[in-house]
Amino acid sequence: MKITYYGHSCFSVFAGGKNLLFDPFITPNELASAINVDLLKADYIFVSHGHFDHITDVVRIASNTGAMVLGNWEIYQWLNKQGLQKTHPINPGGKFFLISVS
């Protein structure tokens, strides 16, 4: 497992061959000024809540990577209006199971 802290609310976890990104706040984040947001890898993006300092780069990163984005119902609806289609609503403490079909 590898954990990368990008500052403030944003970090990633690489585990089990998957890149998990949490609360992507990169471009306006002074602590992440050296990070090229367009080169970040993500298979899944988790959004804790809709404040700008937790959601700023979600659409950009998800569009670049094709990541599945998980967040509460309101975030799910907002992301769909932004044109993202790989989204899933999840409540705090909720579960999401990925079923792989061969």
| Each residue's pLDDT tens digit, 37-83 | 999 999 999 999 999 999 999 999 999 999 999 999 999 999 999 99
- Nearest by Cα to 78 from 89, 66, 94: 89
Map tokens 């802290």 to a residue: 5
User: Residue 100: what pLDDT?
Assistant: 54
- Nearest by Cα to 31 from 53, 47, 1: 53
Q: What is the pLDDT of residues 11-49, one digit of tens each?
A: 999 999 999 999 999 999 988 889 999 999 999 999 999
pTM value surpassing 0.85: yes
Q: How far apart are CA 82 and CA 62, in angstroms?
A: 11
Check whether 101 has a pLDDT greater than 60.
Answer: no
